[in-house]
Amino acid sequence: MRPKLNKAVQHNMRYVSMRIFVTPLLILNFSAQACELTPEYIKLRSEVTKEIHESNRSCIKATSAHFFYKAVSKCIEEGRGENIAGGCYHVVGYEVTHEEMELVHCEVLKPTNEQSIEYLQAVAKERGIAKCLK
């Protein structure tokens, strides 16, 4: 004879079984709405993503290089790298030369997802590249 389950356990079991049933339906629904991207669109998406994020990456790279070489100059002035293979470049390579907050000015150049999508769609339209396979 099976023991009687309290109402909380029964409710929990219904919830779990409902999730097991509903989750695959949601996945199938999203899959049905999605399309298979054309190879040209995939290539364009990669190209556009690289292009639209380039100014932000360049800013971060230049700012980081500024702080690195400033630290190397200071190390050379102090003579800290004289008896070390690789000299100050090696010493400074293991140091923290800047804080993340010193790179926040580059965030202005970082595009939003909406801007990225809008730009991708504009370039695809301009070049006549279809998004989905038929």
Which band of pLDDT confidence, cut at 50, 70 and 90, is reported for residue 81? Answer: confident
Q: Where are the alpha helices (DSSP H) in 1-134?
A: 7-33, 39-78, 87-93, 113-127
What backbone phi and psi angles, to 5 degrees, belong to 133? -70, 150
Q: Averaged over 99-118, what is the pLDDT?
A: 90
> How far is 68 from 61, CA to CA, in rounded Å?
10
- Using N-to-C axis directions, what is the helix angle for 113-127 and 39-78, rounded to 10°? 130
83: left (phi over 0), alpha (psi -120 to 50) or beta: alpha
Which range is most confident: 2-6, 34-38, 118-122? 118-122
Q: Quote the distance between the C-alpha of residue 68 and its chain's center.
A: 25
Which band of pLDDT confidence, cut at 50, 70 and 90, is reported for residue 97? Answer: confident
Confidence (pTM)? 0.59
Q: Quote the distance between the C-alpha of residue 92 and its chain's center.
A: 28
Pseudo-torsion of CA 105, 109, 114, 120, nearest 10°? -160
Residue 13: predicted pLDDT: 55
Is 67 exposed, middle or buried, given 0-12, 13-18 or 19+ CB atoms closer than 10 A?
middle
For the segment 24-78, what is each residue's pLDDT rounded down to a tens digit? Answer: 555 555 555 678 999 999 999 999 999 999 999 999 999 999 999 999 999 999 9
> How far is 115 from 55, CA to CA, in rounded Å?
14
